[in-house]
Structure 1
């Protein structure tokens, strides 16, 4: 058996082993899911596990058992995966090119404006159905509870110097525009009979289940997180794409070996 067939067989055997724990994790999440966030995670994990299992089997059997038609389908799936990853990488760079936190005078944290981000991302978070699920994830993840516990002993001067994350700044405290009086990280006193220009000021509530989860700044903070994560994912995708192109090239050699062997038999 030629080197390219051996390499494809080994690589797909390893991927086959990897698909098993991914599938197990997806099934476990399906059985344990209690929140909207967990239910949203289970489907892509199961889909990824099934995809890896099927493609790995095709590549492994096609290369090791010299089944040319299986190897052809394997190469077709690999080609489609390369194209999809390439398109996603370009798309990720485009939609995350806009938006950044606004630096505030004498503040350690930044504030985030929804209008600064790409229209495509804004449309996703402004959809009521999408935001309901996202908000459920943020609440069940106790993002603001952990934030409260972390900074609860801060005085107002100390708090204003803290380096908050985009989610903490956008969802767990009121906007700087509101000029509320600080009591603790999640409790702020509103000024009576004031008309606010920023609608987030009216959306704020000291209720731990409300806070600023309905604010535009919370959506902007989430988009800032997405922007950061997608840029990292795009860099990883470039490395993964190079790896996939190499594997695809080896697979093409293995497919050619299978064809040559089949011709020699006849």
Structure 2
């Protein structure tokens, strides 16, 4: 049975509802401590989600009240949005293709190296003055205070396979530096500190810790990689669904216009 304008309106309403997971993905990123400190990806995602909602509602209104010009604007607008979503999803997976996370002897957790990540991601934390803002933001979060409360002994910490990248890279000195555990965020320096900038950057000042270390930058990027790829997966699913709905909407719109022309043609001969 041919789809009429009611069918077109229903399809456009479904398209508008698909904005919900896209907007939710952006809000979820904003709620993550690391993404909130970087503030890069969440706003483009939220903006595209709002655009999907607005264009979907416009298409619904155009179909319900039979406004061909608004339906055409919907078709053009949705095509551009689907293309933008697809480009953003591809971009996310390209810049996060490289991963870090290296095992350390006698430790269950992983440690992270900045060189393992894409140049584009590294540039996000190496811009002049940028990292100072990010580390100040990270220091204001409970990421490292939670480590102190959770891991009371060296054995607790060393066997913590579930230590998050941020906790591993920012809240303790790198294992290679040879520091001695006192608490999870307080360590005794060895007699001879390794010739490594991260080893010299460590501070027992609870507002400093390893926030100036390259390992902290790497762990932040590892966290972002994990979160961005989850958001990218949502964008990919939403893009495929919107593309299918867009194709169905084009067919429904063409069918509705054909039916309307045929009805007018018949009325002209009765």
**TM-score under structure 1 normalisation?**
0.80
Is residue 72 from structure 1 mapped to residue 72 from structure 2 by the alignment? yes
Contact 1:9–1:64 (Cα < 8 Å) also in 2: no
CA distance 1:6–1:70, shift in 2 (3 Å): closer
* Unaligned stretches of 5+ residues in structure 2: 266-270
Equivalent residues, number: 250
Task: Name 1:171's counterpart in structure 2.
Answer: 170
Match among 233, 243, 251 for residue 231 of structure 2: 233
CA distance 1:106–1:40, shift in 2 (3 Å): closer
* Unaligned stretches of 5+ residues in structure 1: 30-35
Task: Name 2:186's counterpart in structure 1.
Answer: 187
Distance, in Å, in 2 between the alignment partners of 1:142 and 1:237 is 30
Matched residue SS, 1:230: helix
Measured after TM superposition, the shift of residue 116 of structure 1 is 1.2
Alignment of 1:102-251 (within 5 A): 102-151=102-151, 153-154=152-153, 156-163=154-161, 164-192=163-191, 194-251=192-249
CA distance 1:52–1:231, shift in 2 (3 Å): closer
Distance, in Å, in 2 between the alignment partners of 1:6 and 1:183 is 65
Contact 1:66–1:258 (Cα < 8 Å) also in 2: no
Measured after TM superposition, the shift of residue 132 of structure 1 is 3.5
Distance, in Å, in 2 between the alignment partners of 1:113 and 1:78 is 41
Contact 1:103–1:109 (Cα < 8 Å) also in 2: yes
Distance, in Å, in 1 between the alignment partners of 2:68 and 2:81 is 20
Cα deviations by residue, 1:132-183 (Å, 9 ceiling, x for unpaired): 34324422321111121111x22x2332121211111001110112111110
Measured after TM superposition, the shift of residue 109 of structure 1 is 0.8
Matched residue SS, 1:94: helix
Alignment of 1:21-36 (within 5 A): none
Measured after TM superposition, the shift of residue 206 of structure 1 is 1.1
Measured after TM superposition, the shift of residue 128 of structure 1 is 3.6
Measured after TM superposition, the shift of residue 38 of structure 1 is 8.1
Measured after TM superposition, the shift of residue 88 of structure 1 is 2.4
Alignment of 1:38-117 (within 5 A): 40=39, 47=47, 50-117=50-117
Measured after TM superposition, the shift of residue 210 of structure 1 is 0.8
CA distance 1:99–1:197, shift in 2 (3 Å): farther
Distance, in Å, in 1 between the alignment partners of 2:129 and 2:47 is 22
